[in-house]
Amino acid sequence: MTADITRLSAATLAAELAGKQMSSVEATQACLDRIAEVDPQLHAFLYVDAEGALATAASVDRRRDAGEELPALAGVPIALKDVMAMRGVPTTVGSKILENWRPPYDATVVSRLREVGLPVLGKTNMDEFAMGSSTEYSAYGPTRNPWDHDRIPGGSGGGSAAAVAGFEAPLAIGTDTGGSIRQPAAVTGTVGVKPTYGAVSRYGLVALASSLDQAGPCARSVMDAALLHEVIAGHDPRDSTSLPGPVPDVVKAARTADVRGLKVGLVKELNGPGYQAGVRQRFSEVVELLTALGADVREVSCPNFTYALGAYYLILPSEASSNLARFDGMRYGIRLGDDGEANVEEVMARTREGGFGPEVKRRIMLGTYALSSGYYDEFYGQAQKVRTLVQRDFAAAFADCDVLISPTCPTTAFPIGEKVDDPLAMYLNDIATIPVNLAGNGALSMPIGLAPEDGLPVGLQVIAPPRLDDRLYNVGAAVEAALEDRWGHPLIEEAPQ
Ligand code: GLN
């Protein structure tokens, strides 16, 4: 029995826990054993909190034994991207500058996990300050893709995606500023959702670009992602950009799984010759599948998406250069060069010089430049105008379509080392995901098969209008059910172990 626990979906685990066929301590211990077995190779985790996770599990078991009515995911273990503050637990954001920092408070997402009773297995690896698409920019070494250990698991949330794909955790939390939940999901054959901006609280999330950042679920099935979405979404007075009003019923939508009569727009600009042949092939098969399921698929054009990547790489560094000014060695994190003679500016400079990696420095310089007087209008101002145009493209497309679709990324997982020294090549991974962050609506990535040329997972991106995240789950679950019928099992089961 124990050997199989880690392969169960969160929904099945939840049902077994509720039916007392298994305890949360057993489920949590199974994940911890799996982590001990495979993480020395995968390196999905930066920190494993066995004691904390087992304590939560034991308390859930006690409450259940006492006859308490518990929420659906109570007792189901989860992994947390290291960008989320968790009281007393190291939170490094993949950076040396926060090495050994233990936050004195919980992020709202973490508080919600605690309230519902999900044992947090530990903190997952990520590109430093969530800047990157491969997890190679982590100050603590790369994470490996469970499908092929010589390949990247995506980024910045490669640790969360690899933990889920490698059966170390049934669920994980990611954050997505330009694609960091969806692109890792695509290249690891898992499901990842970026909810509408403001749907999940940013309180306690170490900020990269505040107008783009959004936390969301990583899972092995659309239903599992929906169950987690339901736990973490909802208004939070501690986040001034948090959406008021009710959360759409994403679990019901995942159960509905019906695309009959749905108008699906295929975004012309997010598919084409720049995309790997096998990615395009799997994508066009899904277009046929959607049609067979009764959806009305048509092509739509979003001409300004062509400029989205350029605008993003002005807006993101601008916001990041401001957000990261707080890491100065004075308030928290490491302090370097404080030899008793250096003045405060020198200590700050030495701390930032030694504490930040090259990609973080590159973006701070870019952002500072773009915001400097004389260049502000030319760069930052122009980028904000492009952002408005991207939003208008979406609005026009959604006037005719219920959802939009595209491949999640142009290629499957690339070899570790291939793009690490070529920032532009790295940035291009997010060409199809970035427009969504600029506009603020929600999107999901899900596995749609393996590319014939390399046998690696391909992701489908489903995009919904702002706030209507339930549509992502409806379409995702319909496609998933049809594909799993065809394959006879979930795609992830083909991942080599
Ligand atoms: N890869 C993108 C970047 O490097 C997205 C990062 C993210 O979503 N956190 O900015």
The count of residues in the chain is 497
Is 419 annotated as catalytic? no
CA distance 125 to 375: 35
Is any ligand 1 atom within 6 A of the Cβ of residue 142?
A: no
- Compute, in angstroms, the gap from residue 166 CA to the centroid of ligand 1: 22
CA distance 352 to 74: 41
Across the chain, mean pLDDT equals 97
- Compute, in angstroms, the gap from residue 345 CA to the centroid of ligand 1: 30
CA distance 391 to 301: 13
The closest of 285, 170, 255 to 473, measured between CA atoms, is: 255
475-488 residues labelled b (16+ CB within 10 A) or e (exposed): bbbbbbebbeeeee
CA distance 11 to 19: 12
Asked if 183 and 430 touch (Cβ cutoff 8 Å), the reply is yes
CA distance 283 to 412: 13
CATH class for the domain made up of 2-256+467-494 = alpha beta
Residue of 9, 95, 180, 406 with catalytic role: 180
Is 361 annotated as catalytic? no
Write out the two tokens for 325. Answer: 């000014």
Is any ligand 1 atom within 6 A of the Cβ of residue 459?
A: no
DSSP secondary structure string, 232-272?
HBS--TTSTT---SPPP-HHHHHHH---TT-EEEEEGGGSS
Residue 431 has pLDDT above 60, yes or no: yes
- Compute, in angstroms, the gap from residue 225 CA to the centroid of ligand 1: 21
DSSP secondary structure string, 390-433?
HHHHHHHHHHH-SEEEEESSSSSPPBTTSSTT-HHHHHGGGTTT
Is any ligand 1 atom within 6 A of the Cβ of residue 136?
A: no
- Compute, in angstroms, the gap from residue 234 CA to the centroid of ligand 1: 24
CA distance 416 to 134: 8
List all residues 6 or more positions away from 175 whose beta carbon is below 8 Å from its beta carbon. 81, 83, 84, 130, 156, 157, 181, 205, 208, 213, 214, 215, 216
Is any ligand 1 atom within 6 A of the Cβ of residue 130?
A: yes
Residue of the CA atom closest to atom 5 of ligand 1: 178
The closest of 434, 172, 431 to 279, measured between CA atoms, is: 431
Share of the chain above pLDDT 90, in %: 96
The closest of 14, 79, 18, 71 to 50, measured between CA atoms, is: 79
Bridge partners for 205 per DSSP: 84
Q: Which of 81, 84, 129, 133 to mutate to test the pocket of ligand 1 (most atoms within 8 A of CB)?
A: 133
- Compute, in angstroms, the gap from residue 68 CA to the centroid of ligand 1: 41
- Compute, in angstroms, the gap from residue 359 CA to the centroid of ligand 1: 11
Residue 3 has pLDDT above 70, yes or no: no
Q: Which of 83, 95, 127 to mutate to test the pocket of ligand 1 (most atoms within 8 A of CB)?
A: 127
In this predicted structure, what is the pLDDT of residue 375? 86
Amino acid of residue 490: P
- Give the CB-side neighbour count of residue 448, counting CA atoms within 13 A: 31
- The structural domains of the chain, with segments of one domain joined by +, span 2-256+467-494
The closest of 270, 308, 256, 302 to 405, measured between CA atoms, is: 270
SS3 46: strand
pLDDT in tens, 437-491: 999 999 999 999 999 999 999 999 999 999 999 999 999 999 999 999 999 999 9
Q: Which residue has the tokens 């790997």?
A: 276
> Dihedral (C-alpha) 140, 179, 134, 457: value to the nearest 10 degrees?
130
Is any ligand 1 atom within 6 A of the Cβ of residue 216?
A: no
Is 180 annotated as catalytic? yes
Residue of 95, 111, 156, 160 with catalytic role: 156
In this predicted structure, what is the pLDDT of residue 127? 98
pLDDT in tens, 253-269: 999 999 999 999 999 99
Whether pTM > 0.95 for this model: the answer is yes
* Cα angle 130, 131, 135; round to 5: 75
- Compute, in angstroms, the gap from residue 21 CA to the centroid of ligand 1: 41
pLDDT in tens, 158-167: 999 999 999 9
Is any ligand 1 atom within 6 A of the Cβ of residue 180?
A: yes
In this predicted structure, what is the pLDDT of residue 1? 43
DSSP secondary structure string, 432-476?
TTHHHHHHT--EEEEEEEE-TTT--EEEEEEE--TT-THHHHHHH
**Burial of 53 (C-beta count, 10 Å sphere; 0-12/13-18/19+):** buried
- Compute, in angstroms, the gap from residue 274 CA to the centroid of ligand 1: 20
The closest of 408, 419, 434 to 309, measured between CA atoms, is: 434
Is any ligand 1 atom within 6 A of the Cβ of residue 128?
A: no
In this predicted structure, what is the pLDDT of residue 56? 98
pLDDT in tens, 279-337: 999 999 999 999 999 999 999 999 999 999 999 999 999 999 999 999 999 988 999 99
Is any ligand 1 atom within 6 A of the Cβ of residue 236?
A: no
Is any ligand 1 atom within 6 A of the Cβ of residue 432?
A: no
Residue 2 has pLDDT above 60, yes or no: no
As a whole number, mean pLDDT of residues 207-220 equals 98
Q: In what order do the strands lie in the sheet with 45-48?
A: 45-48, 120-124, 78-81, 171-175, 215-219, 191-194, 443-450, 457-463, 403-407, 263-267, 296-300
pLDDT confidence tier of residue 272, bands split at 50, 70 and 90: confident
- Compute, in angstroms, the gap from residue 132 CA to the centroid of ligand 1: 5
Is any ligand 1 atom within 6 A of the Cβ of residue 160?
A: no
Q: Identify the weakest region by mean pLDDT among 191-205, 374-388, 449-463.
A: 374-388
Is any ligand 1 atom within 6 A of the Cβ of residue 178?
A: yes
Q: Which of 187, 206, 211, 316 to mutate to test the pocket of ligand 1 (most atoms within 8 A of CB)?
A: 316
405-416 residues labelled b (16+ CB within 10 A) or e (exposed): bbbbbbbbbbeb
Q: Which of 82, 131, 181, 422 to mutate to test the pocket of ligand 1 (most atoms within 8 A of CB)?
A: 131
The closest of 135, 232, 250, 191 to 479, measured between CA atoms, is: 191
Q: Report the chain's terminal Cα–Cα distance, integer Å.
A: 18
